Amino acid sequence: MAQALSETELLALVDRLADGQWHSGEDLAAASGISRAALAKRVAKLAEWQLAVEARQGLGYRLPQPIERLDPARLQAAVPQLRVQVLPVTDSTSTQVMAASAESDPQAVLAEVQTAGRGRRGRQWVSPFGAQLALSLAWSFDAMPPQLGALPLAVGVICANALRQAGLDTVGLKWPNDILVDGRKLGGILLEHRGEAGGGCRIVAGIGINLDLPAGPDAQIGQPFINLDAALAAIGRPRCGRNALAIALLRELHALFEGYGRSGFAPLAARWSELDVTRDRIVHIFRGGQGSDASLEGYARGVDADGALIVESDGQRHVLHSGEVSLRL
């Protein structure tokens, strides 16, 4: 029976191709101590990680663009307050950190590729190898934090702050969990929580940010998307490294959760309002179900203290705690 290729062997090949330059098959095979036929099998296996390795006779192999692997030692050293783990491949970072013992909180899991990443309402979250920043952070509160419903909005502000550190000041937020640039989706947030014995609460915040997604997954994402590299290039800023962005996000998230149990959403409410791309615009709300109550159209009027969306329709104010917001441009 043929022996399965190990992640270590495949990652070594990724590292040799990570510069995006051409590498001869002979050199790659020699570096790994294998035959050309065995090398071809490893290259084919990388397709399972959604890595499209180009092959050309006389030139060898290359990746369409360079990849910066996540460096677990660098991340851990930069954020010692968290237990940081980097997985080459996983089903979902949120699934992994949710299954981990709460005794290790606060902890974060990042992955090079997710095979079953998810967004709100069970949507698939596309995560090809190295093309996104996919991370989840778990935090245990001794008691239910105030304004829990607004926590996804607070995490959105934190993401915007980290992206600003990366040079992107054109980011906006769409209630309740989308990160947008010029109306296109740059990233998303998914929060899950469960009550703990003694009245505590455990939160898992999952974040995905597009860095260099290949063209084509709009249908899977469900809306037009934009990559961080492209958004930065559009305003004349250099690309941001994955490790630098991960460090900024982890630091911001730690600071948020450390203080949220005391302060709640109030310190971030004004900043969220500044980033709100729906305010005073016509929105269409899909609330599920059937009949006249299944949807609502009106003007978005920001959020209340608990993070609920306020919509003004036919002279009435509706306070919505969940739903889908679709901008009518």
pLDDT of 161 > 90? The answer is yes
Conformation bin of residue 190: beta by default, left when phi > 0, alpha when psi is -120 to 50: beta
| Mean pLDDT, range 263-287, rounded to an integer | 92
pLDDT of residue 118: 53
pLDDT of residue 65: 85
Q: Is 120 a catalytic residue?
A: yes
What's the pLDDT band for 5 if we cut at 50, 70, 90?
Answer: low
Q: Indicate which residue of 174, 185, 242, 251 is catalytic.
A: 185
Q: Which of 241, 208, 199, 213 is nearest to 123 (CA)?
A: 208
For the chain, what percent of residues have pLDDT higher than 90? Answer: 66
Taking the CB of residue 221, how many other CB atoms lie within 10 A of it?
19
Q: Classify domain 7-62 by CATH number.
A: 1.10.10.10
Dihedral of CA atoms 60, 63, 66, 72 in degrees, nearest 10, equals -110
Q: Is 185 a catalytic residue?
A: yes
Domain 72-275 has CATH 3.10.20.30: no
Which residues are bridge partners to 180 per DSSP? Answer: 172, 185
Q: Is 62 a catalytic residue?
A: no
pLDDT of residue 6: 83
As a whole number of angstroms, the distance between CA 260 and CA 46 comes to 41
pLDDT of residue 115: 82
Which residues of the chain are in CATH 1.10.10.10 domains? Answer: 7-62
What's the pLDDT band for 222 if we cut at 50, 70, 90?
Answer: low
pLDDT of residue 4: 58
pLDDT of residue 212: 85
Domain 282-327 has CATH 2.30.30.100: yes
What's the pLDDT band for 129 if we cut at 50, 70, 90?
Answer: confident
pLDDT of residue 231: 94
Q: Indicate which residue of 120, 123, 271, 301 is catalytic.
A: 120
Report the chain's mean pLDDT, rounded to a whole number: 87
Which residues of the chain are in CATH 2.30.30.100 domains? Answer: 282-327
User: Letter for the amino acid at 255?
Assistant: A
Which residues of the chain are in CATH 3.30.930.10 domains? Answer: 72-275
pLDDT of residue 324: 66
Long-range contacts of 5-13 (CB under 8 A, 24+ apart): 5/41, 5/42, 5/45, 7/88, 7/89, 9/42, 10/42, 10/45, 10/46, 10/49, 10/88, 11/69, 11/88, 13/39, 13/42, 13/43, 13/46
